[in-house]
Structure formats: structure tokens, C-alpha cells
A and B are shown apart, each in its own frame.
Chain A
Amino acid sequence: MPSYRQLIASAIVVLLLALLPLAGSRYAIDLTTEVLIYALFALSLNVLIGFTGNISFGHAAYFAIGGYACAILLTTYGWPLALALPAAVVLAGLVAAVVGYFCVRLTQIYFAMLTLAFAMLVWGVAFKWKEVTGGDDGFTGIKMPAMISHHIGYFYFTLITVAAGIAALWVICHSAFGLTLVAIRENSVRAGFIGVDTRHMRWAAFTVAGTFGGLAGALFGMYHRGMYIENAFWTESANVLIMVLLGGIYSFIGPIIGAAVLHLLQTFTNQYTPYWPTVLGLILLVIVMVLPDGLIGLARRVRGRGGRP
């Protein structure tokens, strides 16, 4: 169970966010919607990275599958949102289960390379399967349910969905399952010797990560009213990986902070210079050189506590 302090703090954050449309401009609301979606995306990846100790270079694949599937089901097949969204999430989870089945046979850099390879396949499918996905023109003109077609309605929809997703991930990460994943991250050999089938557990973690990544992707596609092959590209996987590292992999909320900071930085940087990739490089440099456990790690050090998860 979360402590009362944590529960109250989370409730206050959600409430404050819910008040945003009263005060904020359209710009602020849209930006917050984007941050919320990226926060969920980054958290889903951290199930693999921070909790299980497996670095995926292909997490955009599940984001894209969730996004495309939801978009296609809503628009091409005219499904209601209440069916299209869960179906898209389940599909992303299923694909993650299939891909993960192969990936967890490997570890470390080989694992990472295989996740990247599968993600490139997903990109290839989105690119080639033009009649379904729109190919490199993207899949545009998503049919949105009236209730959430306005940007404020969509903001609330995103807020509720992301809050529920984060709550679910919180429970999973702090469950007996989550603690066992951390043990695997810390020492997978020893985890085997206490009776844990580490490969099965890593497979499950991969599937959980893909499922929630798919949910984030579905929200993203509807928000933009379209999905594009770039959303499945490896740069997207790198971006979310950097969010996770920037926030800090050894804490649950680190990736949320990382997602917010990176996305806001990117948005503001793009307003003034075309050099976002350079700025991103500098950010990476800072993470590697001085923030090995991210902004959360930094905050902990400033407060004089260790960087323990």
C-alpha cells in the first residue's frame, strides 16, 4: 500500500491538473496532455529497465501498435472507443508477449539489439502496409467520439486514463511480482537459486511494459488525430529511453519527471533553435557524467539520502 502521504500527494497533483483548464490556455492544456502521455510511456518502459534490469531499444514498437490499432479500429472499422481502446492495448500486449518470448532468451546488449530489430520490423510493417496504415503518409483523420473530440474533453480523458494506468503500474511494481523483478535486476543468478524462473518473469515484465506502452500510444494517436511511421522509428525508442534515464531508473516516479522535463525542454528548445538533437546530446552527456541515477537520484543526494530504490 502507498503511504498516506504518497496517496495525498498524488491526489493533490491530479486535482491541480484537473483545475488546469479553468486557468490555463489551450497551449498549456495541450502541452500537459502530451506530458501525461509521455509520462505513462516512460513509466511503462521503466518496468523493464529500472525494475527488471533489461534495456529495450525498441519500446516505440508497442507505442505505435497501440496507436495505430486504436486509430484503425476507431476509423476504418468504426468501433466504439470502449472497444477500440482496450483492443488496441491488448494487441500491443500480445505483440509484446510474442516478441518478448524471443528477446528474453538473450540478455544485455543482445537483448537490446533484438528489441531494436523487432521494432524496426514493426516500423517496416507500418511503412509497407499502406492500405491499412497509410504508409509514409501516416494514418490521418481519426474518427473521434464526440465526447472527447474537444481539447478539454480529451485532456480530462487523458488525465483519467493516465492516472489509472500509473496507479496500475504502481501496484504491479510494488507487488510481490515487482519485488521479485528487482531481485532479478540485482542478481538474476541468485534469483534462479531461490526458485524463480527468471526468464518467465522477464517475459512477463516485457509484456506488461508493452501493454502499457500500447495504452500510451493509443492516447497519443487520438490526441494527434493521426499516427505516423516516425512514431515507430528507433529515434522514438531512444527518446523514451532518455526520458527514463533522465528521471532516474531506480525510483517509481523518476520516469514521470524525466518525461515532463525532456518534453518541455524539447518544446521550448524547438521554439528558439533548430538544434534540439544537439541539446539532447548535451542532456545525455549530463546524465552519463553527473546524473547516473537521474534527477530523482540527484534530489535524493541533495536531501542527503542514498540512491537506494
Chain B
Amino acid sequence: MTAMLHIDGLWKTFAGFVATRDVSFDLMAGETHAIIGPNGAGKTTFFNLITGHLRPDKGSVSFEGRDLVDLPPQKIVRLGIARSFQRINIYPRLTVFENVQVALIAHEGQQWNLFRPGRSLHRQGTQELLELVGLAPEALETAGELSYGKQKQLELAIALASQPRLLLLDEPTAGMSPQETGETIASVRDIVKARGLTLLFTEHDMSVVFGIAERISVLHHGEIIASGAPDAVRNDPEVKRVYLGEHAHG
């Protein structure tokens, strides 16, 4: 079986600092895969390289056989890869509803329609997505005024609106209350199952990681130092030393 996402020899440096070091990585269709590692390990950079936010110095990224390296984000989204952001990245002065609605408009390629009233489009689809992530009650609130945890949920809804086959979530529950974390992870799990999504995510909360990941890769100083089934990774001495050890109490 060939991988859905195939990454080979990926490098990225920032002014001499190596953030991604010779990373090779295969992701199979349907897999739920976690990328873990300490702060500054290069997890977000890795996502940025996949989604076209950053251009790698070297190496290749291919999705279902297509080379992504020279594509801008908007083209990569259209191939079926959507992401959420670790740092809130929404439209703060639009309503929660409009935040999702505009993603559906873009997904349908209707952003070039100069005549159809934008706010009348995809009302049902938007409503369904908001219900899915638990934001229906806040639909008409200004997105920038939501609590941090709810803005994270909105991140997720916007990413889902692009109807991806591969979903990348960068710390989807960071900053959420334990209750919000539980709800969000439950809905992510349901959505992934219902839509048959392939999921690649980063997360510092180990209960979340070991709760839903089928495979785990560990990044450290920009390198993948271990990759495999959760139990194998958990017991890897190197991983224990650089990362999981410090989470022994967490």
C-alpha cells in the first residue's frame, strides 16, 4: 500500500537554526497519527511545510502522488488537506456563523460570485458544522469575543468546512478546560470515523494522544526520533529520556 502523504528528506532552517532536520514520514490513508515532542521541537513548522505556509529548503512532500512543495496553501486545501492552527487564526470581527460560512463558500468555489448574497449561502451546512463542534448557541456572536476554548472549536469547524480527506490539527485542545478538551476530542473522534478522515495532529496532553492516536511519531530538535504504535513509543527509552519523562507527573 502506498502512503497518502509521503515526505522524504525534509529540511527547514531559520537563519541557521535547523527546525526540521531530514524528516521522512509516511502517513497511510485512514490513520490517526499524533506528532508529539517538547516545545520548539518543530511540530508546527512540520505542519507549515506540509500545508504550504512555509517552503522547505530541501526534500519532498507528496499527497496522493502529487508534489506539494511549490503549491500555495489555497491550492493544497483544494487537494483535500485542511488544518487548524495552534495560535487562533479566525476572522475576529465576523460572526461565528460567518467564519464557517465563508469557508463553505470558498470550498464550493463561490467566492467569485458577485451576485448571490453571501449570507444566504450554505446556511444549513454552516449550522450543521457548528452543531458538530458544539458552537451552535454562539452562532451569532462575534468570533473574536468568544472564550479561547470556543475559538479553538471554531478553528476546528473552519478546517472541517473545507471537507478535507487529510485533516491536520495543531494542538486542538491547547488552552481548553478539561471539559472542553473531552468534548472536542470526542467530536474529533466521531467526525474522523464518520467521514473516514485521515488525521494528523499534535498535542501536549498525553491522555488525548494515547486516547486516540493509532500511531505516534516523536519530534525532537526537528528530527523524528521514534515512530510507531503507542505502546512501542511509550516504552522507547530515547523518547522517555527526551520527552515523556518530563510528563511523568502530567
Contacts and interface: CB of A to CB of B under 8 A. Distances in A.
Contact of A186 (B85, B92, B103, B113): B92
B110 interface: yes
Given A179-B98, A204-B112, 19 more contacts: A1-B117, A171-B115, A175-B118, A176-B117, A177-B114, A177-B118, A179-B101, A182-B102, A190-B85, A190-B91, A193-B51, A193-B74, A194-B158, A195-B77, A196-B74, A201-B111, A308-B93, A308-B142, A309-B93
A140 to B, nearest CB: 37
B160 to A, nearest CB: 11
B112 A177 contact: yes
A184 to B, nearest CB: 9
Interface string A169-182: 00110111111101
Contacts of A153: none
A196 B106 contact: yes
Contact of B114 (A171, A189, A191, A306): A171
B162 interface: yes
A71 B143 CA distance: 48
8 contacts: A1-B117, A175-B115, A176-B111, A176-B112, A182-B94, A187-B89, A187-B91, A193-B51
Interface residues of B, number: 40
B83 interface: yes
> In which size bucket is the chain A interface?
20 to 34
B127 to A, nearest CB: 17
Nearest to B95: A308
A178 B107 contact: no
B247 interface: no
Contacts of A174: 117-119
B161 A176 contact: no
B74 to A, nearest CB: 5
A183 B91 CA distance: 6
B94 to A, nearest CB: 6
Contacts of A204: 112
B218 interface: no
Given A179-B101, A193-B77, A187 B92 contact: yes
A137 interface: no
Given A176-B111, A186-B94, A308-B142, A194 B116 contact: no
Nearest to A192: B73
A195 B103 CA distance: 8
Contact of A196 (B51, B95, B111): B111
A250 B101 CA distance: 19
Given A180-B106, A183-B94, A193 B121 contact: no
A187 B154 CA distance: 14
A201 B73 CA distance: 15
A1 B119 CA distance: 9
Given A176-B113, A195-B74, A195-B78, A190 B89 contact: yes
A197 interface: yes
Contacts of B72: 192, 197
